[in-house]
Structure 1
């Protein structure tokens, strides 16, 4: 029964992923992406990784995709220019997808064959997968974890710097400076010689 449930949700996940890249309406594509994330979270839970499944639902479905939907609904996106280069970049996208699938398959086969040297410990009955994941991140993968955090921090600072615009301040009166001035700063007397015969008379 567990395998039947897995194949059902995996089929729905594949269908939603295909619809994300084939539908013409960007709002519909975002909704299908929400469906894909939800089914992926269910597969994580079935695999015993409850923390990853809950994090996928809370972070991506509950926060990121809601933000995407707000942006897509507020912007008037012309879909036709976005679809023009789909066939041109399709071979490159297929090559990248094949490389990613090959790398993922290699990691799975290496773990099953025991070539990783036991870097991923199996959770025992006394600990759950969240404790094992935390211990693994802060022991074996502490440097990649810190590097990923630094890269995200740099990305946040760069996004803020790119979107920050100087504030256009209007002119306004400064009452304190006006009251503190003296007549020497504001008044200048210029002596000029008179011109014309009428002044001399």
Structure 2
């Protein structure tokens, strides 16, 4: 019988341990990379699919206007820690594809500069992929001085392709809702 020399056994064992160590290091690095990439990847997924009522971003409406009308209702919620009053825009009814501009109005009720930010969603969620914003204040930090009131415009249109989605044929109203919250940034 042939026996394996102890030196050769040690070399094989060291190579296997190194291979396992490198594999584990690559696995950990990959997991850390995925953790950092998960938020942008999820955001991209939501933008592409309209998942969760995520709207689309556009420069203009290249598809034109169709005869079907859609009512767009605007809603607002303000977190308790943000001393702002925010009034939503009035609901509008317009032809699908028409580009409209509305304003939310925000007032800082405190005696110091306060920075806030807004996130949004669209209801029904399936309509999010057809709601296109050309201009919006969402995800942008806004600093309001004490007592200051500002108009916060939204320029948008509903994509005419919504008429091709049979599941949304009965939809006559879309709600765009914003939630305002205090930002971690200090006021200026």
Q: Structure 1 length normalisation: TM-score?
A: 0.18
Q: Structure 2 length normalisation: TM-score?
A: 0.19
The structure whose residues are more often helix, as a share, is 1
